[in-house]
Amino acid sequence: MTAVSDMNTPSQSLNSGLQPDGLPARLRRRYFRTPGNAVISMVGMAALFYLAFHALDWAVLKAVWISPDSTSAVCRDIAGACWAVIQQRWRIIIFGLFPYDEQWRSMLACLVMVATIVLSCLPWSWRPLRLSILWCAGFLIFYVLMRGGLFGMRAVLPADWGGLTLTVFLYAAGVLIGMPMAIAMALLRRSDMPLVSRMTGALIDGVRSLPLITILFTAALIFPFVLPGWLQGDKIWRVIIGFALFFAAYQAEIIRSGIQSIPVGQEEAAKALGLSYWHRTGRIILPQAFRNALPPTINQLVITFKETSLIVIIGFFEILASGNAAYGTGEWSFAYFEVYIFVALVYFVFVFSLSRYGAYLERRMRFGQH
């Protein structure tokens, strides 16, 4: 009893020392502890407010949002942002060169693809059967909507697909094809057979030593000369395969690093229980490897999303290229800054959601950790 009360007194006084934790007190403690601190804080905050005000002033207060006559005349002689360019040209940014009257299809297809991605991120869908049904359905609906030629919809060739829809499609298809390739490459590289592991290693290193642009270039322009006609397929598919291969080469090494960080005892215990290679790999090794490799995997997914913009080099108008086209007419050419901000915002929404999802996964998985 005495011991307890002895313990209580100092801890109470300690608490009361930290107790007044309202906002002003916290600000004072953190930013105004010494005169030097106070000066630096004041200068810093003043600069911050100044910049924030200017940004707000430009982006909101003095901005023009709507062009009543569909021309850029409304933006002449203004000191703020000309968001009218987005209001007038957003369809080009989002849908690219897709025929104007059919753009509802592109919109719908894009939503279907995003919904498929979001649904497959939910723990509920993490069953092989559910995931395969989800993705087959997702891609099928997307393809029918975009390609048309069925149900009285006008056919639209992939060369005319564009904008955000194309970006999302290229990304989803590339990652979806690339991820199994990456797993296969990581496992083959660990094979006991020297020939298999060396050849996989050579493939991974080979692909990694080439810039993505050269791979896309080869897939789009060189392969038609090399491959027999029936193997060529549409340019978009060759580009997706090239894109997937590039993603897979990096992701394979990430997965391999995840596998290597698992203690040997895990595989031994699984072997000792009589589990077959596929059961050991699928139930013991890969789940732990992905958990270990989650941060670099999210990293790679983020980088890959931004790399989709490179397909402009072979003539596809993904969202960034469509943005260029949106202000490319002489009339709106002054408004490139607003267009880029809009495109950046779209990228931000996707990439930021992805990294928040990564953080959620890490929290979720920490529960079962050592």
Partner 1 sequence: MSEAAVRIAGMNKFYGRFQVLRDINLDVRSGERIVICGPSGSGKSTLIRCINRLEEHQQGRIDVLGTELNDDIGNIDHIRRDVGMVFQHFNLFPHLTVLENCTLAPTLARKVPVEEAEATAMTYLTRVRIPEQAAKFPGQLSGGQQQRVAIARALCMKPKILLFDEPTSALDPEMIKEVLDVMVELAQDGMTMLCVTHEMGFARQVADRVIFMDKGEIVEQGRPAELFDNPKNERTRTFLSQVLSH
Give 331 or 362: the residue with its C-beta nearer to partner 1.
362
Minimum CB separation from partner 1 for residue 277, in Å? Answer: 8
Minimum CB separation from partner 1 for residue 111, in Å? Answer: 34
Minimum CB separation from partner 1 for residue 197, in Å? Answer: 18
Give 266 or 333: the residue with its C-beta nearer to partner 1.
266
Minimum CB separation from partner 1 for residue 370, in Å? Answer: 4
Minimum CB separation from partner 1 for residue 127, in Å? Answer: 15
Give 68 or 368: the residue with its C-beta nearer to partner 1.
368
Give 7 or 273: the residue with its C-beta nearer to partner 1.
273
Q: Cα separation of 276 and 45, whole Å? A: 62
Label residues 214-238 b or e (16+ Cβ within 10 Å = b): ebbbebbeebeeeeeeeeeeebbeb
Helices (H), the chain: 2-18, 23-31, 35-56, 84-95, 103-121, 128-147, 163-189, 194-208, 212-217, 223-226, 229-232, 235-260, 264-272, 277-279, 286-292, 294-307, 319-328, 336-366
Give 187 or 325: the residue with its C-beta nearer to partner 1.
187
Minimum CB separation from partner 1 for residue 254, in Å? Answer: 18
Dihedral, CA of residue 91, residue 93, residue 95 and residue 100, to nearest 10: 40
Cα-Cα end-to-end distance for the chain: 36
Give 144 or 365: the residue with its C-beta nearer to partner 1.
365
The identity of residue 348, as a single letter, is F
Q: Cα separation of 181 and 158, whole Å? A: 24
Give 115 or 273: the residue with its C-beta nearer to partner 1.
273
Helix (H) or strand (E) holding 162: strand 162-162
Minimum CB separation from partner 1 for residue 31, in Å? Answer: 40
Q: Cα separation of 157 and 104, whole Å? A: 16
Minimum CB separation from partner 1 for residue 260, in Å? Answer: 16
Radius of gyration of the chain (CA): 27
Q: Which residues contact 228 (CB under 8 A, 6 or more apart)?
A: none
Helix (H) or strand (E) holding 317: strand 317-318
Nearest alpha-carbon partner for 58 in 81, 32, 37: 81
Which SS3 state, helix, strand or coil, does residue 64 take? strand
Q: Where does this chain bind partner 1 (CB under 8 A)?
A: 263, 265-266, 268-276, 279, 283-284, 287-288, 291, 365, 367-370
Give 290 or 340: the residue with its C-beta nearer to partner 1.
290
Minimum CB separation from partner 1 for residue 181, in Å? Answer: 24
Give 35 or 274: the residue with its C-beta nearer to partner 1.
274
Token pair 């911050």 is found at 48
